[in-house]
Amino acid sequence: MSKKTVRVSVSAVVILAALSWLMISTISEGAEYYKTVDEVMASPQQWEGKRLQVHGHVLGDPLVKSSTLEYRFKMHANGQVIDAVYTGVVPDTFKAEAEVVVKGRLGADGVIHVERGGIMAKCPSKYEAAPTAPSIGG
């Protein structure tokens, strides 16, 4: 093998290794799991400390401490319940029985600590299709 071939080969290996390391470290930092409440509660120790998006429904009315905008609420799915805490402004549709997805981490206390801006709520009854009007001149 010539010197040029060895240099090109070594350079290619170094570049590929650097790109691989960069890609793996970036992906692992931003990885999030999307789970339902019952999936998380089946084995909470497995999810402790990991970034999660948890899907469920708000159980009862959320409790709010108005001086700090701290919300404490329960989420449920398929008979399982999990506690969550969030500090910040919530969407208008965030209320009892609203379908929600929260982003945060499951703490050792078994509570999901939702990150800022990490609540997405939907109210299924509010967004029903309007009845179609009869056509004119059909």
- Candidate from 25-39, 70-84, 105-119 with smallest mean pLDDT: 25-39
Q: Tell me: the pLDDT tens digits for 53-97?
A: 999 999 998 898 888 889 999 999 999 999 999 999 998 888 898
What is 40-96 written as a DSSP string? HHHSHHHHBTSEEEEEEEEEEEEEEETTTTEEEEEEEETTEEEEEEEES---TT-ST
Confidence of residue 128 (pLDDT cuts 50, 70, 90): low
2-19 per-position pLDDT tens digit: 888 989 999 999 999 999
pLDDT reading at 134 higher than 70? no
Residue 40 token pair: 């998380």
